A and B are shown apart, each in its own frame.
Chain A
Amino acid sequence: MTDTATTLERLAAEAAATAGASPHGEEGERYTAVNSEKNRPLYASRVKVYPKLVHGTFRRLKWLVMAVTLTIYYVTPWLRWDRGPNLPDQAVLLDFPARRFYFFFLEIWPQEFYYVTGLLILAALGLFLVTSVAGRVWCGYACPQTVWTDLFIHVERFFEGDRAKRIRLDKSPWSAGKLARKAGKHLTWVLIALATGGAWVFYFADAPTLAGQFLTFDAPSAAYLFVGLFALTTYLLGGIAREQVCIYMCPWPRIQGAMFDEESLLVSYKEDRGETRGPHKKGASWEGRGDCIDCGQCVAACPMGIDIRDGMQLECIQCALCIDACDEIMDRVERPRGLIAYDTFRNQERRRAGETPRLNILRPRTILYSVVLALVAAIMLVALSNRTTLDVSVLADRNPLFVRLSDGSIRNGYQVKIVNKEHSERIFRVSIDGLEGAILTRPALAGEGTATVIVEADKLENARFFVSLPAERAAAIKGGEADFDFVVTDTESGKIATRSTTFRGPGK
């Protein structure tokens, strides 16, 4: 119990240091939520937020998520994936000049961009589902803005100390020490920002090659431009703008209102348990009052500068740091944890009405999102498993539509485009089907009589073919048009692709 006393004393001391830091603070208020509605009039410039470090489950979870996401971001371009000779061996590569996207075993050609669209739809639906179940999980844990801001705040804390020290430092006059701390912080920020922009460009070119070019200063100017651009935005958004990005720039806080409902798990202050709030003396009775001792730790910890006790608000990214802050205090004052916790609006009502709170995850909304998600995932899977490595398209000549030859027969010309998506050369045999009496030929210089087309690995071959029909057969075609098929067969594997096209003649 002495522990509680010292904590409260320490908090009081800290509050004294903080006093006056917030221009909108009311008298006697120790921690001010600078971005809460009552403290932020419409016409006012930003008041800096000094989030305090907390310890606990969610802080640990956030460290973990940060480590995992940043590792994925920085390491992915360096993963190698052997695709055979003459092809990039980078696992994830967005190769714009060659018009290919590589994702491990998957290779996307421009005409297959719907796979990327599908992935984006899956991501959006996943976001909807998660939001309807547990609120702004994306915002709170995984959004790059949150992750980098968190990292930048940590750097700031390393150089300038925790909340109270930072406030004092900002209020103190300039000195060599202050300059050194500030310079160290900004320099580290710039380095992180450069690394962020640097990692970004590695997704668009062979990473080791580009890294070598950076070292010898002969990387393409576009690479420097994008490193600079992303370094600048990382520094500005993560270091300077921070919570303003979420509050003013991001559209998602506005959209999410439609995503969650009264049964969604949201980081909330349990008003029914916490009120009436007020300072509590050690040993005093808890009868007739709420569990909230109004220590303001939830406000101090908030990176968005709000007071979670004001209820659900647009600014809240649901990072759950206030839960950790409050749990720490609840442990010290020996009250049960979870005064601030993931809770639903309905459960607040249920508790007030004396009912047992329960989770209602299976709701029409979540079921609908899940079903649509599963449906799109299934479509994607089917499309992916049916993806062929042989793609054929046939273009019939339109100018002229047909040519009369000296023996009176009618000839049509076709461009047969054969796409070989395999990583080795393939030999294809081209034939026609469904046009009786027709003769398939190639231009004289392409090699007489041969219907064999060789397509290099990962390439498209454009082969020209002629189909001729004797005069009497051509004349017999109804309406001058007849459909038939080009059949392209892989001579090795026997795989067949068939494309329908039209033979045109003068008709009767």
Chain B
Amino acid sequence: MSEKHKDDVTGVETTGHTWDGIRELNNPLPKWWVYTFYACILWSFAYWVVMPTWPYLTGDGWTYTQGVIGYEQRNIVTNELAAVAEGRSGAMEQIATMPLEEIANDPALMEVALGAGKAAFGDNCAPCHGSGAQGSKGFPNLNDDDWIWGGTLDDIHTTLLHGIRWDADDETRLNIMMAYGRDGILNRSEISDVAEYVLLLSGQPHDGEAAVRGTAVFESQCVACHGDAGTGNRELGAPNLTDAIWLYGGDKEAIVETVSNGRSGVMPAWGTRLDEGTIRSLTLFVHSLGGGEK
């Protein structure tokens, strides 16, 4: 530091430093800046009093000053969630109690139901049925028009409520595709023959002679559930064998495997897990995907 020095041109004091003959003006801070700075300091004192601020240690561990207005972010979230539930409750209560067809005829309710259904589907159903409900091997595609247990609103609602082969639910949908090979009911050639007959039923290339032999096997073992023509029975959850949709694959190898080892896919009963409003929303949502029946 050297002695005080004033700049000739501006008349402003310099900082006293010299860098290769260059001096720096020591202009005062702008007033507005200084006052804003003071205001911020005052503000911070007020903030300490009003808002939760200082952490301190007590016998029980760390805590903090609560502030006089009791501001707490957790409360805000709780209140917001409560407000959402409150805002929805009217609609969701109606959805939970009104007949499904009536909900479908009310555009405003339907909008809520489809939105809630879509969200619930993503949370609960998508892991098996896929995010677009397109399914995969063993998990039905919910977009198509083929339903094992029925595709009306009531059918879908029942399936959702009680599940399929869900032991914990007394009213669950239950049937058995027996393991004809593993349990020794049919031998290998009989299974191969009946598979050829199933290929014939669904209009696929097949071995004619084997299919004729398979007819007898089909009539003795399969018609009870799948029907004389192999068109299935929704009461029993027996799939239609004549259409183009196969849950486990429709080629010879897959059919032989199905007949030999049986199939028994499981869907949980959601009645104990989700509330009625959500289940009905899911029903309407799944129904709206394109396969819903009247």
A interface secondary structure, majority: loop
Would A405 and B244 count as touching, CB distance under 8 A?
yes
Which of A41, A42, A406 is in CB contact (< 8 Å) with B144?
A406
What is the size, in residues, of chain A's interface with B at 8 Å between Cβ atoms? Answer: 22
A405-B244, A406-B245, A444-B287 known; A399-B144 Cβ under 8 A: no
Bitwise, A398-423 to B at CB < 8 A (1) or not (0) is 11100111111001010000000000
Instruction: Please name all residues of chain A whose beta carbon is closer than 8 Å to the beta carbon of B104 when the two chains form the complex.
Output: 445
Q: How far is the CB of A109 from chain B (nearest CB, A)?
A: 21
Q: Which of B11, B133, B134, B146 contacts A406, CB < 8 Å?
A: B146
CB distance from A452 to the nearest CB of B (A): 15
In angstroms, Cα B131 to Cα A397, docked, is: 13
Cβ–Cβ contact A406 & B143, under 8 A = no
Distance (whole angstroms) from the CB of B85 to the closest CB of chain A: 24
Interface residues as binary, A360-403 with B (CB distance below 8 Å gives 1, 0 otherwise): 00000000000000000000000000000000000001111001
- Given A43-B27, A443-B290, A406 contacting B131 (CB threshold 8 A): no
Per-residue contact bits, chain B 213-245, to A (CB 8 Å; 1 contact, 0 not)? 000000000000000000000000000100111
Query: Known contacts being A43-B27, A444-B293, A445-B288, is A404 close to B245, with CB within 8 Å?
Result: yes
Give Cα A400–Cα B290 distance, bound, in whole angstroms: 12
Question: Are A444 and B292 also in contact (CB < 8 A) when A43-B12, A400-B134, A407-B244 are?
Answer: yes
- A42, A399, A445, A471: which contacts B287 (Cβ < 8 A)? A445
Q: Are A403 and B134 in contact (CB under 8 A)?
A: yes
Separation in Å of the A404 CB from the closest CB of chain B? 6
Cβ–Cβ contact B290 & A403, under 8 A: yes
Looking across the interface, which residue of chain B has its beta carbon closest to that of A397? B132
B158 contacts partner chain A, Cβ-Cβ < 8 Å: no
Residues of A within 8 A of B (CB): 41-43, 397-400, 403-408, 411, 413, 443-445, 448, 464, 466, 471
Q: What residue in chain B is nearest A441 (Cβ atoms)?
A: B290
A-binding residues in B (CB < 8 A): 10-12, 27, 104, 130-134, 141, 143-146, 240, 243-245, 287-288, 290, 292-294
- Known contacts: A42-B10, A43-B27, A443-B290. The answer to whether A404 contacts B134 by CB under 8 A is no
Return chain A residues, CB-CB under 8 Å to B143. Answer: 400, 403, 411, 413
With beta carbons under 8 angstroms apart, the residue of B10, B132, B144 that contacts A405 is B144
Contact of A404 among B131, B144, B287 (CB under 8 A): B144
Tell me the nearest residue of chain A to B146, going by C-beta: A406
Which A residues touch B144, using CB under 8 A? 403-406, 411
Whether B145 contacts A406 by the Cβ 8 Å rule is yes
A417 to chain B, nearest CB (A): 15
Which residues of chain A come closer than 8 Å to B12, judged between CB atoms?
43
Please indicate the chain B residues that have their CB under 8 angstroms from the CB of A399 in the complex.
Answer: 131-132, 134
Residues in A neighbouring B133, C-beta threshold 8 A: 400
Q: Which residues of B contact A397 (CB under 8 A)?
A: 132
Q: Enumerate chain A residues within 8 angstroms of B244, measured Cβ to Cβ.
A: 404-408, 471
Name the A residues within 8 Å of B132 (CB-CB).
397-400
Measured between alpha carbons, how far is A471 from B203 in the docked complex, in Å? 13
Closest chain B residue to A409, Cβ basis = B244
CA of A408 to CA of B244, assembled, Å? 5
Q: How far is the CB of A469 from chain B (nearest CB, A)?
A: 13
Contact partner of B292 among A398, A405, A445, CB < 8 A?
A445
A448 to B292, CA, bound (A): 12
Interface centre among A413, A448, A471 (most CB of B within 10 A): A413
Q: Considering only CB atoms, which chain B residue lies closest to A445 in the complex? A: B104
**Using Cβ atoms and an 8 Å threshold, which residues of chain B touch A406?**
144-146, 240, 243-245
Q: Smallest Cβ distance from B9 to chain A, in angstroms?
A: 9
Task: List the A residue with the shortest CB-CB distance to B147.
Answer: A406
Q: Find the B residue at minimum CB distance from A42.
A: B10
Q: Are B290 and A411 in contact (CB under 8 A)?
A: yes
Q: Are B10 and A43 in contact (CB under 8 A)?
A: yes
CB distance from A107 to the nearest CB of B (A): 24
B121 CB → nearest A CB, Å: 12
CA distance A471 to B287 in the complex (A): 24
7 CB-based A-B contacts, threshold 8 Å: A43-B12, A400-B130, A405-B144, A406-B244, A408-B243, A408-B244, A445-B292
Tell me how far the C-beta of B203 lies from the nearest C-beta in chain A, rounded to whole angstroms: 9
A466 contacts which chain B residues (CB < 8 A)?
Answer: 290
Residues of A within 8 A of B292 (CB): 443-445
Residues of chain A contacted by B245 (CB below 8 angstroms): 404-406
Q: Which of A397, A404, A466, A471 has the most CB of B within 10 A?
A: A404
Contacts of B11 in A (CB 8 A): 43
Given contacts A43-B12, A403-B141, A405-B145, contact A443 B243 (CB under 8 A): no
Please name the residue on chain A nearest to B104 by beta carbon: A445
Which chain A residues border B131 with CB–CB below 8 Å?
399
Q: How far is the CA of A464 from the CA of B111 in the complex (A)?
A: 13
Q: What residues on A are CB-neighbors of B10 within 8 Å?
A: 41-43
Smallest CB separation, A69 vs chain B (Å): 31
Complexed CA–CA distance, A249 and B245 (Å): 72
